Amino acid sequence: MSCLDRQTVLIGLDGASFTILDHLMEEGTMPFLKKLISLGCRGELTSVIPPLTPPAWISLITGVRPGTHGVFNFLQFESPKSRYIKWLSFRDIQRETIWSIVNRHGMRAGSLNFIGMNPPPAIRGYIIPGFVSWRWLRKNSYPEDLFDRLRGIDGFDVKEMALNFREEEKAVKGCQREEYEDWIWLHIRRERQWFDVVRYLMKHDPCHLTAMIFDGLDRIQHVCWRFLDPAYALKAHAAWEEKVRRLCLQYFRNLDEFLEQIVDLAGPQANIFIASDHGFGPTREILYLNQWLCQQGYLKWKDNTAMGTKSVAGQSEDIESLGVESPYRSLLHLDWKKTKAYAATASSNGIIIQVAGKRGEEGIPANEYFSFREELIDKLRNSCLDPQSGEPLIKEIWTREEAFAGNFIDCAPDLTLSLRDSGFISIYPSEVYCRPRSQIMGTHRPEGVFAAVGPAIRKGEVIPPTSIINVAPTLLHTLGIPIPSDMEGQVITQIFDPAFLRAHPVETGAPTVPPERNQDASPQREDAEGQEQIMLRLKSLGYV
Ligand SMILES: [Zn+2]
């Protein structure tokens, strides 16, 4: 039980979707979550465009859209003029985070496993960033002696806690039947490590705002969707598949126990929030977008580029489609003199238009940008079709002004696509531009989850879908903090008990302050980490 006068806990569940959670709550795998939600409010949480982990979580912790906070993808252009891309770091987040705002109001804040939080800013509380390999996790956590304290936790193992990029790559690469179980176990053990850290810090270093992410859901759902979605999971499986399914359920059962203990530790006076960065759904086909651009004359592969549905290394077909191999390899295969438009990463589902003088000399003349873009949109709508049925393969197309209006638009893709089955594109060469996957995989959907419970929250309410940018102001309101005037999101007032809202009306306060970079965080350290790890991370993510 905490000694703080007020406390808010945010439990982030990466990629959580009610499609899966409702089923698991009904069939008894997650009884605590079922009870918890029945005591509070729930609703769909609408992600950002595109519904991707980095822009979505950064929107959740800043209360603004990607065009305002400047994070669009795992990889960012170094500058509007640069063709080089680099891994996301805290320096790319152009807005103040909830932890900093909470600190400025005299309260303590904790941040566990959030992407983009390294090198960590100085904070009253603690930060352990997500998406950092174990070698660098200690040095990228704050305060510097935090890991010395964590060593006191029974069974603490930083190697198990950090993402193991080599293992992740193996799993996504393989999808071999003998590899599923090891891989799910990896995530079961990882979540246990994070939970142990959460429990230790909530007991020994309580904060007014404690925010954490459990991210095994995202990874398990990508690979094991067909074992989880009731539309497929309840059909007959081979014995080995049934074993994999049961292990997936074990992951969720453990998660449910962690939720129970976290809520218990926070105590009855705490307000608890559960949120995901995006939802999940099935994907059945692969669109090789660069191949389509090539066939339309917008992109040229170098003459010696290998074609075919088998990748260079001879891995299984879904490896390529998930983009396990480095996108650099693919981009190295482009003939830049004859390429006008290309997709750089699968994760962004974005197209970059080569404008002469913007990122190098090659490209279309700058004064033709808008007419070229219109032509390309028209082609994508009317010529990117299912070769069998003739149906459009692309559901929606956003220009960067539509998707990313804000100060950092020049670093965003020129076009962002949503495919008809919401899958990620492939950036690789292929003989055909579209084909079915060998089996159903999981992919992101905009419909995430939101739930809240606590003394300030109404009971038994289902609220209409609400935007992910509304979470930050809502968390601040539970702590009595006025909402910064430049936050784009708004407090989700429907979730609050009317008596609470009367006693604590929403107040607007001064604007946010620019993010403070930790002067002690050595840039060399981060760069060295980048050099060593970036290729591994790209490979391991599966959908970069
Ligand atoms: Zn995610």
| C-alpha 193 – ligand 1 centre gap (Å) | 19
| C-alpha 489 – ligand 1 centre gap (Å) | 20
| C-alpha 361 – ligand 1 centre gap (Å) | 36
* Measured distance CA(48)–CA(36) in Å, rounded: 26
| C-alpha 397 – ligand 1 centre gap (Å) | 21
pLDDT the model gives residue 494: 97
* Measured distance CA(349)–CA(73) in Å, rounded: 10
| C-alpha 274 – ligand 1 centre gap (Å) | 14
| C-alpha 471 – ligand 1 centre gap (Å) | 16
Backbone angles phi, psi at 99, to 5 degrees: -65, -40
Backbone angles phi, psi at 341, to 5 degrees: -150, 140
| C-alpha 56 – ligand 1 centre gap (Å) | 8
| C-alpha 423 – ligand 1 centre gap (Å) | 14
Backbone angles phi, psi at 196, to 5 degrees: -60, -40
| C-alpha 466 – ligand 1 centre gap (Å) | 18
Residue 407: CB partners within 8 Å, gap ≥ 6?
67, 68, 70, 94
| C-alpha 221 – ligand 1 centre gap (Å) | 11
| C-alpha 19 – ligand 1 centre gap (Å) | 16
pLDDT the model gives residue 171: 54
pLDDT the model gives residue 192: 97
* Measured distance CA(221)–CA(24) in Å, rounded: 13
| C-alpha 116 – ligand 1 centre gap (Å) | 13
| C-alpha 45 – ligand 1 centre gap (Å) | 13
| C-alpha 218 – ligand 1 centre gap (Å) | 6
| C-alpha 330 – ligand 1 centre gap (Å) | 24
| C-alpha 303 – ligand 1 centre gap (Å) | 37
Please tell me the total number of residues recorded for the chain in this structure: 544
Tokens 């107040």 label which residue? 507
- What is the DSSP code string of 328-381? HHHHHTB-GGG-SEE---TTTTEEEE-BTTTSSS-SB-GGGHHHHHHHHHHHHH
* Residues with Cβ–ion distance below 5 A, ligand 1: 14-15, 53, 218, 277
Domain extents for the chain?
Answer: 8-278+446-541, 284-437
| C-alpha 73 – ligand 1 centre gap (Å) | 11
| C-alpha 186 – ligand 1 centre gap (Å) | 18
| C-alpha 64 – ligand 1 centre gap (Å) | 17
* Measured distance CA(434)–CA(17) in Å, rounded: 27
The answer to whether the CB of 75 falls within 8 A of the CB of 87 is: yes
pLDDT the model gives residue 313: 33
Tokens 């974005």 label which residue? 350
pLDDT digits (tens, 9 = 90+) for 498-526: 999 999 999 999 999 999 876 665 544 44
| C-alpha 216 – ligand 1 centre gap (Å) | 10
| C-alpha 432 – ligand 1 centre gap (Å) | 29
pLDDT the model gives residue 323: 34
pLDDT the model gives residue 474: 98
| C-alpha 294 – ligand 1 centre gap (Å) | 30
| C-alpha 443 – ligand 1 centre gap (Å) | 10
Q: What is the pLDDT along the chain (544 residues), one digit of tens a residue?
A: 445 778 999 999 999 999 999 999 999 999 999 999 999 999 999 999 999 999 999 999 999 999 999 999 988 777 777 767 778 899 999 999 999 999 999 999 999 999 999 999 999 999 999 988 888 899 999 999 999 999 989 999 999 998 777 666 655 554 677 788 988 999 999 999 999 999 999 999 999 999 999 999 999 998 899 999 999 877 777 899 999 999 999 999 999 999 999 999 999 999 999 999 999 999 999 999 999 999 999 999 987 776 644 333 333 333 333 333 344 445 667 888 899 999 988 888 999 999 998 877 789 999 999 999 999 999 999 999 999 999 999 999 999 999 999 988 888 999 999 999 999 998 888 899 999 988 888 999 999 999 999 999 999 999 999 999 999 999 999 999 999 999 999 999 999 999 999 999 999 999 999 998 766 655 444 444 454 455 455 444 443 3
The answer to whether the CB of 489 falls within 8 A of the CB of 472 is: yes
Q: How far is CA 433 from the centre of its chain?
A: 27
| C-alpha 124 – ligand 1 centre gap (Å) | 27
- What is the DSSP code string of 223-262? HHHHHHSHHHHTS---HHHHHHHHHHHHHHHHHHHHHHHH
Residue 437: DSSP 8-state? E
* Measured distance CA(419)–CA(423) in Å, rounded: 6
The helix/strand/coil state of 111 is strand
| C-alpha 115 – ligand 1 centre gap (Å) | 10
**Counting Cβ atoms within 10 Å, is residue 106 exposed (0-12), middle (13-18) or buried (19+)?**
exposed
Q: Count Cα neighbours of 212 within 13 Å in the Cβ-side half-sphere.
A: 24
| C-alpha 500 – ligand 1 centre gap (Å) | 32
* Measured distance CA(298)–CA(430) in Å, rounded: 16
For residue 527, give the nearest of 162, 166, 136 by alpha carbon: 136
* Measured distance CA(332)–CA(349) in Å, rounded: 19
**Counting Cβ atoms within 10 Å, is residue 199 exposed (0-12), middle (13-18) or buried (19+)?**
middle
pLDDT the model gives residue 309: 41
For residue 352, give the nearest of 428, 293, 418 by alpha carbon: 293
| C-alpha 15 – ligand 1 centre gap (Å) | 5
pLDDT the model gives residue 346: 82
For residue 466, give the nearest of 50, 17, 11, 48 by alpha carbon: 48
| C-alpha 424 – ligand 1 centre gap (Å) | 13
pLDDT the model gives residue 134: 86
- How many CB atoms lie under 10 A from the CB of residue 326? 15
- Give counts: helices (H), strands (E), the chain: 21, 19
| C-alpha 543 – ligand 1 centre gap (Å) | 11
pLDDT the model gives residue 307: 63
3-state secondary structure 439-478: EEEEEEECEEEEEEECCCECCCEECCCEEHHHHHHHHHHH
For residue 190, give the nearest of 155, 221, 225 by alpha carbon: 155
pLDDT digits (tens, 9 = 90+) for 296-313: 999 999 877 766 443 333
Q: Does domain 8-278+446-541 have CATH number 3.40.50.620?
A: no
The answer to whether the CB of 94 falls within 8 A of the CB of 64 is: no
| C-alpha 21 – ligand 1 centre gap (Å) | 16
The answer to whether the CB of 539 falls within 8 A of the CB of 329 is: no
pLDDT the model gives residue 311: 38
| C-alpha 231 – ligand 1 centre gap (Å) | 22
* Measured distance CA(1)–CA(480) in Å, rounded: 21
Reply yes or no: is the peptide bond before residue 66 cis, omega within 30 of 0. Answer: no
| C-alpha 217 – ligand 1 centre gap (Å) | 9
| C-alpha 327 – ligand 1 centre gap (Å) | 20
Architecture in CATH of 284-437? 2-Layer Sandwich (3.30)
| C-alpha 74 – ligand 1 centre gap (Å) | 11
| C-alpha 313 – ligand 1 centre gap (Å) | 28
* Measured distance CA(281)–CA(448) in Å, rounded: 11
| C-alpha 53 – ligand 1 centre gap (Å) | 4
* Measured distance CA(536)–CA(123) in Å, rounded: 29
| C-alpha 293 – ligand 1 centre gap (Å) | 28
Tokens 């810090």 label which residue? 201
The answer to whether the CB of 323 falls within 8 A of the CB of 542 is: yes
